[in-house]
């Protein structure tokens, strides 16, 4: 029987593809195994070569710290001083029970009764003393003028006070005729009234323009004298003109005088459409800028330096680049700026 040679079937295509691209020869396989062994040895070398560190025991260090702290505490002893003036002990004020609010007569209350209605002790004594001095309250506005009385407390008590809100108007009294003394050396001039050197201010004024008024017109308002009227005109010139009546409260002499500001608002006005004097921030010198009330020396110096380094400003919002110029000042300054 003849031997028939057998043929080995060819491997599939995917196996030939893997063997061609990912197959290793015997030499490459040996090198890969050696490389992996070296990597494992390199990773395990730090653990094998690192010396064994002793275990830390914090007990001795803690004991040493405790001894040091005890020594410091023993050395630090508070110093006691005997005062030359013994401290006085004041008796504690008794607590006054509060009562429900009901209509009451303020002229019949004592200091304790006022405290029972929510007033502090010192204010209650002050109200009683004020009532005794003026001979009794006749209107609520007298109680409201008591020094130290909070507005919130007065608003809570006012509906229950059995008094009118305001004092009645004073009646005009007829002038009295005084007889001349027969023994007077100058009988004809004994009771003549000397004319005052200050002219009486009118009671009824017609409102006038705040931006065109001079000191004479401002002095017609009660409470406004020569000095204060001059300050108003001088501030208006530095500002470039008033745009609103509430700018009067920016004047230093009027900051703590709201009644004078109200009088000025009552008899003055700002003409609609009034255009203030322009302030050219790109060409005005330092002296002109620092004289404006909204700028001052510090801001004027920074504006001059900024425009020299970065060029002229094109609009008001460009001034926001100046960090020391806050938004509120910029909004007040905006109507006066010209570019």
Look up the domain containing 131 and give its range.
106-160
Domain end, chosen from 92, 125, 160, is at 160
Domain end, chosen from 232, 250, 269, is at 269
Please give the mean pLDDT across all residues of the chain.
82
Is residue 217 domain-resident?
yes
Q: What percent of the chain has pLDDT over 70?
A: 86
Q: Can you spell out the DSSP letters for 202-256?
A: PSS---EETTT--HHHHTTSTT--HHHHHHHHHHHHHHTS-SSGGGGGGSGGGTT
**In total, how many domains does the chain have?**
3
Q: Which two tokens stand for residue 158?
A: 């006012």
Is residue 257 domain-resident?
yes
Question: Within 10 Å of residue 228's Cβ, how many Cβ atoms?
Answer: 19
Domain end, chosen from 160, 193, 226, is at 160
More confident residue, 18 or 184: 18
Q: What's the CA angle centered on 201, arms 169 and 217, to 5 degrees?
A: 130
261 shares its domain with 310: no
Least confident interval from 66-75, 187-196, 219-228: 187-196
pLDDT value, residue 50? 78
Q: How far is CA 303 from the centre of its chain?
A: 26
Is residue 319 domain-resident?
yes
Query: In the predicted model, what is the mean pLDDT of residues 265-288?
Result: 86
Q: Can you spell out the DSSP letters for 13-82?
A: HHHHHHHHHH---HHHHHHHHHHHHHHHHHHHHHHHHSPPPPPP--HHHHHHHHHHHHHHHHH-------
Scored b (16 or more CB within 10 A) or e, 204-213 reads eeeebebbeb
Identify the CATH number of the domain in which residue 309 sits.
Answer: 1.10.150.280
């Amino acid at each position: 029987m003849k031997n028939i040679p057998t043929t080995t079937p060819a491997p599939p295509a995917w196996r030939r593809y893997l063997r061609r691209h990912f197959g290793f020869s015997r030499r490459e396989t040996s090198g890969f195994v050696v490389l992996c062994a070296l990597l494992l040895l390199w990773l395990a070398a730090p653990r094998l070569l690192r010396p064994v560190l002793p275990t830390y025991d914090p007990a001795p260090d803690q004991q040493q710290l405790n001894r040091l702290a005890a020594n410091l505490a023993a050395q630090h002893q508070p110093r006691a001083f005997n005062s030359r003036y013994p401290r006085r002990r004041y008796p504690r004020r008794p607590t006054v029970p509060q009562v429900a609010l009901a209509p009451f007569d303020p002229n019949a209350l004592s200091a304790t009764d006022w405290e029972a209605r929510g007033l502090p002790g010192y204010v209650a004594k002050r109200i009683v003393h004020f009532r005794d001095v003026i001979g009794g309250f006749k209107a609520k506005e007298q109680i409201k003028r008591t020094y130290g009385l909070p507005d919130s407390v007065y608003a809570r008590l006012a509906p229950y006070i059995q008094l009118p809100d305001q004092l009645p108007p004073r009646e005009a009294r007829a002038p009295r005729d005084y007889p001349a003394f027969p023994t007077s050396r100058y009988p004809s001039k004994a009771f003549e009234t000397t004319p005052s050197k200050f002219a009486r201010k009118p009671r009824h004024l017609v409102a006038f323009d705040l931006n065109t008024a001079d000191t004479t017109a401002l002095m017609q308002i009660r409470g406004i004298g020569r000095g204060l009227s001059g300050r108003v005109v001088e501030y208006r010139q530095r500002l470039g003109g008033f745009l609103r009546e509430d700018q009067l409260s920016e004047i230093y002499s009027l900051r703590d005088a709201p009644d004078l500001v109200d009088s000025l608002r009552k008899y003055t006005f700002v003409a609609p459409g009034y255009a203030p004097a322009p302030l050219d921030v790109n060409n005005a010198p330092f002296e002109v800028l620092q004289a404006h009330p909204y700028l001052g020396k510090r801001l004027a110096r920074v504006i001059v330096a900024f425009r020299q380094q970065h060029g002229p400003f094109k609009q008001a919002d460009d001034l926001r680049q100046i960090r020391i110029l806050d938004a509120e000042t910029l909004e007040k300054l905006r109507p006066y700026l010209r570019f």
